[in-house]
A = this chain, B = another copy of it.
Amino acid sequence: MGTKPIIVDTTLSPFAKLKPVPLTNVKLKDAFWAPRIELLLTSTLPVIYNKLEESGALDNFRRILGKVQTEFKGYVFADEHVYKWLEAAAWLLSYKHNYELEVKVKEVIELVKAVQEPDGYVNTRFYGKPEERYKNLKWSHELYVGGHMIQAAIACKRTGICEKLFNVATKYAEHLCNTFGPGRLEMPDGHPEIEIALLELYREIRDKRLLELAEFFIELRGKGKLDGWSYFVDNKPFKQLNEAPPGAHAVRFLYLTTGATDLYLEIGSKDLWEALNRLWLDVVNKKMYITGGVGSRHDGEAIGEAYELPNDRAYSETCASIANIMWNYRLLLATGEAKYADIMELTLYNSALSGISLDGKLFFYVNPLADRGKHRRQPWFPCPCCPPNIARLLASLPGYFYNTSIDGIWINLYASSEAGIEFKGKKIKIEQVTNYPWEGRILIKVYPEVEDEFAIYFRIPGWAEKAKVYINEKLLDMPIRPSTYLRIERLWREGDIVKLDIEMPIKLFTSNPMVIHNTSKVAIERGPLIYCLEQADNPGVDVWNIALTTESTLKAVFEPSLLNGVMVIEGTGYVLEYDAQRLYTDLGKFSLRAKKTKFRAIPYYAWSNREPGPMSVWIPLLDLFEKKVVRKEN
C-alpha cells in the first residue's frame, strides 16, 4: 500500500465537495515557501526539539520509564508540544527525508508507546494515577493532549513513518469510546481539539463510534458542563451560537469551529452549517484583524466584542491564526467557495507567518499590529503551544495547495511548484511558474497523462480586481471575478499553459467606522500581503508619526537583499511634528506641523527581524474625512 500524506482526508466524506491531494504530490520550488520549509529541517524542528529537552517535555515521558528521576515539568498539557513536533516532523519527512530526524521521531514514538497504560489511556501528567483522570477536564487538557497524539499518529501513518503510534492512537480511541458518551462520562474537555482528531481518525478507520463521540463532545457544549463560561464556548449550545462569544478563548473557539466543520463534512447537518455560517460571518465581518488574526484581548487570550480590535494590544495568537486557517480550509472543502480560501491565504501570509522569525528560530505568541519596539520573538515560552504549531502548519503547507472535485482540479494557492494530481485514476502534472506573492502573474502548465476533458478551477483571490486569463496565450473572454474559482473546462493537452495575469496594485484599506481604533487610518495591502511601517526602514522619524494623504504616491520595489527578499512599498507622506509634552490639549491650542517625508513599508510578517523599534500597520490618512465624507445638509 502506498502512503498518502493527506492532512484532511475528505476522500469519503459525503459533504465534502473537495477531495484531498497528498502533500507529497506537491513540490514547492519557489523562493518564498520552499526555503521556509527547508528551514524547518535545518532550524525550526531542531530548535524545538532542543526546547522539548530543556523544558522537560520529553523527560516527562522518560520519567515514567524510570530513565530520569524528575517531577513532571511544564503545564499540564506539556505532552502536546511533543505531539505537535512529531506531527510536523512526520509531514516534513514525507517529502524531505532526513535520517537524523527520522531517528529522533522513532525514539519519541517509542517513548509514547511505552507510556500507554493497559486500558489505552495516554498522558504523562496523569500516568499511574487513575483516580485523578478526568477529574478536572475543564482545565486538565487530557483530551486536548490526546487529540494531538492522535493527529501525530495519523501523520505518522499517512506518511509511512510507522504504524506503531497509530496503534497507540486506536487503542487510546477505544479507551475514549469506552469512557465517554451518553450514559458514560458526559463531560467535554475545556479545550477543544479531540473533535478534530476523532473525526480524522474516523476518516482513517471508519469506526462510526469516533464520529459519534466527536458529535457528542460538540453537542455537550452549552449545557453548563463548563459552568456556562463564554471562555469555553459553553454559553450556548454550538448550533445556537449567533456570534463568536466575546470572552471566548480564541484558540478554543476556533478549534471548536474547526472540529464542528469536520463533523459537518461527515454528517451534513443543516443547522450545524447555519451555525458555522453565522459564526464565520461574525468573525470575518466583526472580529478579525486585517492580518487574519483573531483574538483582541490579552485577558483570557480572548475574542472581544464586535469591532473591538485594538492594535497595540491585539492578541492575535499565532495558534489562533493557525486554527483560522484550519477552519477556513475545512469550510473550503465543504463548499469550494473562494471566500474561505481568501481568509486562509490572508491569515497564512500575515498573522500566521508573523509567528516565526525569518531564520525559523524565534516565535511570536502574540502578534500586535502596533508596537513601540518591546515586543520581540522568543525562542520558547512558558506555554509553548505556538512554536510546534507553526511548524506543523508549514510542514503540511503543500497539502493546502490543491484539491479535486467530481469534475476537476482546484488550485487554491500559488507558488512556483510541480504537482502530480490524480484525477479519475489518471495523473495530471501541474506546474506553476510565478513570483507570487510579489507578482500576480502565474503561469500554470498542465500535463495530463493523456488528453482529457475536465475542469480546472483557478482561484481568483478576493483582492484580484483586475485579472486577465490567457489559455495558450489567447485571452480568455470571460468575466474574471475576484473571490471566485474560475472554472475552465476543456480538453486539456500536454503543455497547455494558462496564464493568470492578476494586477497587484497597492491598495489602501479603511475600517468600518465602528472600529474606533482605526478612525482616520488606512492599512497598506498589496496582493495577499498586509504591510507595516517599521522603524528600521525609516530612520530619523518615529513611524507612529508618519501619515499619508490621498495624494501620497506609493510604489512597490523588490529588495532582494532585505529580509530574505521582500517587495517593499516606498511612498511619500508626511511626518507629524508637535509638542509632545501633554497628553490632552485644548483644540484651540492644538496644531500639528506636517513635513513631507518618504517612507518605506515592509510586509507585516517580516517585522521584528532587525533592531527593535516602533511598528504600525494602521497609518493616519490626513485627508480621509475631507475626501471621503459626503456631507448632506439636512
A310 at the interface (CB under 8 A from B): yes
Cβ distance A25 to chain B, nearest Cβ, rounded Å: 35
Bound-complex Cα distance A585 to B511 (A):
6
Closest B residue to A301 by CB, please name it: B299
Query: Which residues of B are found within 8 Å of A522, using beta-carbon distances?
Result: 587
Query: Which residues of B are found within 8 Å of A374, using beta-carbon distances?
Result: 305
On whether the beta carbons of B593 and A520 are closer than 8 Å, the reply is no
Cβ distance A552 to chain B, nearest Cβ, rounded Å: 11
A290 at the interface (CB under 8 A from B): yes
On whether the beta carbons of A285 and B581 are closer than 8 Å, the reply is yes
Cβ distance A532 to chain B, nearest Cβ, rounded Å: 13
Query: Which residues of B are found within 8 Å of A585, using beta-carbon distances?
Result: 509-512
Q: Which of B298, B584, B616, B633 contacts A516 (CB 8 A)?
A: B616
On whether the beta carbons of B512 and A632 are closer than 8 Å, the reply is no
A629 at the interface (CB under 8 A from B): yes
Bound-complex Cα distance A306 to B595 (A):
24
Main SS of chain A's interface residues? mixed
Closest B residue to A621 by CB, please name it: B587
A284-298: CB near B (< 8 Å → 1, else 0) gives 111010100000011
A574 at the interface (CB under 8 A from B): yes
Within 8 A of B (CB), among A503-519: 507-517, 519
Q: Which of B521, B544, B586 contacts A507 (CB 8 A)?
A: B586
A583 at the interface (CB under 8 A from B): yes
Query: Which residues of B are found within 8 Å of A478, using beta-carbon distances?
Result: none
Known: A596-B633, A629-B576. A583 touches B310 (CB 8 A): no
Closest B residue to A575 by CB, please name it: B632
Q: Which of B519, B583, B630 contacts A284 (CB 8 A)?
A: B583
Known: A288-B583, A372-B305, A620-B625. A592 touches B516 (CB 8 A): no
Cβ distance A618 to chain B, nearest Cβ, rounded Å: 8
Within 8 A of B (CB), among A253-291: 284-286, 288, 290
On whether the beta carbons of B593 and A632 are closer than 8 Å, the reply is yes
On whether the beta carbons of A587 and B285 are closer than 8 Å, the reply is no
On whether the beta carbons of A631 and B594 are closer than 8 Å, the reply is yes
Known: A313-B310, A620-B625, A626-B625. A584 touches B510 (CB 8 A): yes
Copies per assembly: 2
On whether the beta carbons of B631 and A584 are closer than 8 Å, the reply is no
Q: Which of B297, B512, B576 contacts A582 (CB 8 A)?
A: B512
A578 at the interface (CB under 8 A from B): yes
On whether the beta carbons of B590 and A520 are closer than 8 Å, the reply is no
Known: A592-B513, A622-B629, A626-B623. A508 touches B299 (CB 8 A): no
Closest B residue to A587 by CB, please name it: B508
A370 at the interface (CB under 8 A from B): yes
A10 at the interface (CB under 8 A from B): no
A591 at the interface (CB under 8 A from B): yes
A607-634: CB near B (< 8 Å → 1, else 0) gives 0000000001010111111101111111
Bound-complex Cα distance A311 to B286 (A):
18
A523 at the interface (CB under 8 A from B): yes
A308 at the interface (CB under 8 A from B): yes
Bound-complex Cα distance A625 to B587 (A):
11
Bound-complex Cα distance A523 to B621 (A):
20
A88-132: CB near B (< 8 Å → 1, else 0) gives 000000000000000000000000000000000000000000000
Query: Which residues of B are found within 8 Å of A521, using beta-carbon distances?
Result: 519
Interface size class, chain A: 35 or more
On whether the beta carbons of A285 and B630 are closer than 8 Å, the reply is no
Query: Which residues of B are found within 8 Å of A632, using beta-carbon distances?
Result: 593-596
A580 at the interface (CB under 8 A from B): yes
Bound-complex Cα distance A422 to B601 (A):
66
Query: Which residues of B are found within 8 Å of A592, using beta-carbon distances?
Result: 513, 625, 628-630
A312 at the interface (CB under 8 A from B): yes
On whether the beta carbons of B583 and A285 are closer than 8 Å, the reply is yes
Within 8 A of B (CB), among A482-532: 507-517, 519-523
Closest B residue to A285 by CB, please name it: B583
On whether the beta carbons of A512 and B580 are closer than 8 Å, the reply is yes
Bound-complex Cα distance A322 to B250 (A):
34
On whether the beta carbons of A580 and B634 are closer than 8 Å, the reply is no
Q: Which of B509, B516, B588, B634 contacts A596 (CB 8 A)?
A: B634
A178 at the interface (CB under 8 A from B): no
A50 at the interface (CB under 8 A from B): no
A70 at the interface (CB under 8 A from B): no
On whether the beta carbons of B312 and A308 are closer than 8 Å, the reply is yes
On whether the beta carbons of B297 and A574 are closer than 8 Å, the reply is no
A378 at the interface (CB under 8 A from B): no
A240 at the interface (CB under 8 A from B): no
Bound-complex Cα distance A545 to B581 (A):
30
Query: Which residues of B are found within 8 Å of A519, using beta-carbon distances?
Result: 519-521, 620
On whether the beta carbons of A507 and B587 are closer than 8 Å, the reply is yes
Cβ distance A291 to chain B, nearest Cβ, rounded Å: 10
Query: Which residues of B are found within 8 Å of A616, using beta-carbon distances?
Result: 516
On whether the beta carbons of B520 and A517 are closer than 8 Å, the reply is no
On whether the beta carbons of A305 and B297 are closer than 8 Å, the reply is no
A310-337: CB near B (< 8 Å → 1, else 0) gives 1111000000000000000000000000
Query: Which residues of B are found within 8 Å of A620, using beta-carbon distances?
Result: 513, 519-520, 625
User: By CB atoms of chain B within 10 A, which of A583, A584, A594 has the most?
Assistant: A583
Query: Which residues of B are found within 8 Å of A576, using beta-carbon distances?
Result: 513, 629
Closest B residue to A542 by CB, please name it: B514
On whether the beta carbons of B512 and A584 are closer than 8 Å, the reply is yes
Closest B residue to A530 by CB, please name it: B584
* 17 other A-B residue contacts (CB within 8 Å) besides A513-B592, A513-B620, A622-B626: A290-B584, A298-B299, A299-B299, A304-B313, A308-B313, A313-B313, A507-B586, A509-B584, A509-B586, A511-B583, A519-B519, A522-B587, A587-B621, A591-B630, A594-B632, A596-B631, A596-B634
Pick the 9 closest A-B CB pairs, nearest first. Answer: A520-B520, A298-B299, A508-B587, A299-B299, A622-B625, A626-B626, A594-B631, A592-B629, A509-B584
